[in-house]
Structure 1
Amino acid sequence: MKSFLLNQYSLLESKIFRFAIVFGGGIFSFLFLYVFEPYGIHRVSGTEKLITVALYSGIGTIALALQFILVQPLIFKKYTLLGTILWLGLSFILIGATSTGVNAYLFNNGVIELHRFIAFLGIIFSINIIPTTFIVILHYHYITSKRLRNALQLNESIKHNVTRKNQEKRITIHSQNKNNDLEIALSDLIFMCAADNYVDVHYSDNGTIRHKLLRNSLSSIEKDLHCYPTILRCHKSYIVNKEKIKAIQGNAAGYKLKLKETHELIPVSRSLNQKIATLLN
């Protein structure tokens, strides 16, 4: 369960979703408050009612805009399912706080009382928890299903793709330390990954899997090998040989590459998710 909740999940990364929850939520709250008249709104009518509803929904919308548009990019470095749930829950608490403040200003001589805040939270959670949970679950399963379908299609493409063998092509992977370069057949290269100030090169040597640490950066090596179309920078920390890709796994967290001759799953940068099919062909 813990690992499931810590899966990467991109809903909050969507600007469309963030703007929808801010401004869509503002419109919904205005209509809901105007029609059902909670929070003491039933005490007023006409223009006064319109102003009261506008204060509740307007200040709530400003609070959500600050949370989702201004503060969120400063806090989130990695988006997970658990983080999404907690962040949405915080938005309910924030709306409860703003509603309590507006209610105190309009109907309680500016006095904020804890029991009113708890009452507002109860109303807000009861209204929003079911549709919000439904949206998150629906989106999570939609993204997972979409990436699984894409992975299956790509796997079929990999199976039927006849690649040219590069046994005769040899490449030199340079090290910043003199006399420590690695020269191998291109077809023997499996993948490379960043390891602090080094690059860990994994390759096949007459059927034996070996690896060698070279003092260099992935960016520098990528630049050196850019003329080889089978070399793919799939992640900020990984370069793979496309000829070694055996299968692709996909879920809501993104894609991972399964390579021949190794059990390690190689992550694909989320920025490449939309064009992974093109990159692999």
Structure 2
Amino acid sequence: MLRILKQPYPIEEAGNRLMFRIACIGAFVGLFLLLFQPFGLSLWQTEYKTLKILGFGLITFVITAFNYFVWPAIWPRQFSDERWTVGREIALVLLNILLIALGNMLYMTWMIGHPAYVTDLVSAILITFLVGIFPVAGSIIFNYIVQLKKYSRTAAEAPVHEPKPVLPSGEQPLVLLAENEKDTVTVKPSSLLYIESSDNYSTIVTDEDGRAQKTLLRSSLSRLEGQITHPAIVRCHRSYIVNLDRVEKVTGNAQGYKLHMLNAQHVVPVARKYNDSFISRLKATA
């Protein structure tokens, strides 16, 4: 069990799609409570009852948005693909459930004008934890197994390229221009391994006689992507552009595909948004 908790798990990327899902969760909670009025809500006599009940959905939305947008912004390294695991995903979901339960309880006590006692808060947190831990852990572990089998199986079928100790000569060089419109880096497409985003810079990694050479250029990855027309050099991640001709091996885990280059010395991840089209693009370059 401990081994599974340490396994890589796909983290949800912040963006409009995640915000829409969070909004749907908040709307579902609010509408569910309004339609069925469980937990004694049907006996609650108050003005503007509909709006007050929908407030539970708003609390759910705000807390969930905070957990999935603010924490990753404060600690981006802790929420990166390299560090995210099954155990961390379970902990984040449980924390979200606990904070929603606590927030909605405090909201309810404020609505009815009754003070919240420490024993009541502790009991609510404990009950929520005991009720939520098993379905949360079970669903996340099940999704981990499904994603692991999916990407591992497809990766095993992916075409690969043999290492290229001798690079072709006479090819058209690739000229990458920095943001200042003056500095440039010129590389042979066949020698390029990948380009990695490094804050306001991009690190260009090339194969120089079997050894990786890194060159720093002040430019965003998106800007460099717009300068590249070579069909085998493509974006595969928010932080990476990769040369598919130099991929020697493809492996997969629950997060997606991993591309191995230069005798497996370098590994580049493939983001989930590119997963569906990646294998077909790799086959086209084989």
Check whether TM > 0.5.
yes
State the shift of 1:118 in Å.
Answer: 1.7
2: distance between equivalents of 1:210 and 1:192? 12
State the shift of 1:3 in Å.
Answer: 11
The counterpart of 1:93, out of the listed 82, 95, 99, is 99
Runs of 5+ unmatched residues, structure 2: none
* CA distance 1:168–1:3, shift in 2 (3 Å): farther
Match in the other structure for 1:136:
140
State the shift of 1:274 in Å.
Answer: 3.0
Match in the other structure for 1:102:
108
Match in the other structure for 2:68:
72
1:150-229 equivalent positions in 2, closer than 5 A: 150-153=154-157, 155=158, 157-158=159-160, 168-174=170-176, 182=186, 184=188, 186-194=189-197, 197=201, 199-205=203-209, 208-213=210-215, 215-217=217-219, 218-219=221-222, 221-224=224-227, 226-229=228-231
Percent of aligned pairs with the same amino acid: 19
1: distance between equivalents of 2:24 and 2:187? 53
* CA distance 1:85–1:50, shift in 2 (3 Å): farther
State the shift of 1:64 in Å.
Answer: 0.8
Query: Which residue identity lines up with residue 122 of structure 1 in the other structure?
Result: L
* CA distance 1:5–1:50, shift in 2 (3 Å): farther
Q: Secondary structure at the match of 2:98?
A: helix
Query: Which residue identity lines up with residue 72 of structure 1 in the other structure?
Result: Y
Deviations 1:58-92 (A, max 9, x none): 44332112222466334434543415523532432
1:5-154 equivalent positions in 2, closer than 5 A: 5=6, 7-10=8-11, 14=18, 18-19=22-23, 21-25=25-29, 34=38, 41=40, 48=43, 58-69=54-65, 72-77=68-73, 79=79, 80-81=84-85, 82=88, 85-99=91-105, 102=108, 106=112, 110-153=114-157
Q: Secondary structure at the match of 2:234?
A: strand
Q: Secondary structure at the match of 1:76?
A: helix
State the shift of 1:270 in Å.
Answer: 3.8
TM-score norm. by structure 1 comes to 0.69
Q: Secondary structure at the match of 1:187?
A: coil
Match in the other structure for 1:239:
241
* CA distance 1:276–1:97, shift in 2 (3 Å): same
Q: Secondary structure at the match of 2:115?
A: coil
Structure showing greater Rg: 1
Q: Secondary structure at the match of 1:93?
A: helix
State the shift of 1:115 in Å.
Answer: 1.1
| Structure 2 contact 193–242 (Cα < 8 Å) conserved | yes
Deviations 1:20-64 (A, max 9, x none): 643455566679973xx5xxx4xx9xx52698x989964433211
| Structure 2 contact 176–185 (Cα < 8 Å) conserved | yes
| Structure 1 contact 105–111 (Cα < 8 Å) conserved | no
| Structure 2 contact 155–250 (Cα < 8 Å) conserved | yes
| Structure 1 contact 143–251 (Cα < 8 Å) conserved | yes
RMSD in angstroms over aligned alpha carbons?
4.3
* CA distance 1:194–1:130, shift in 2 (3 Å): closer
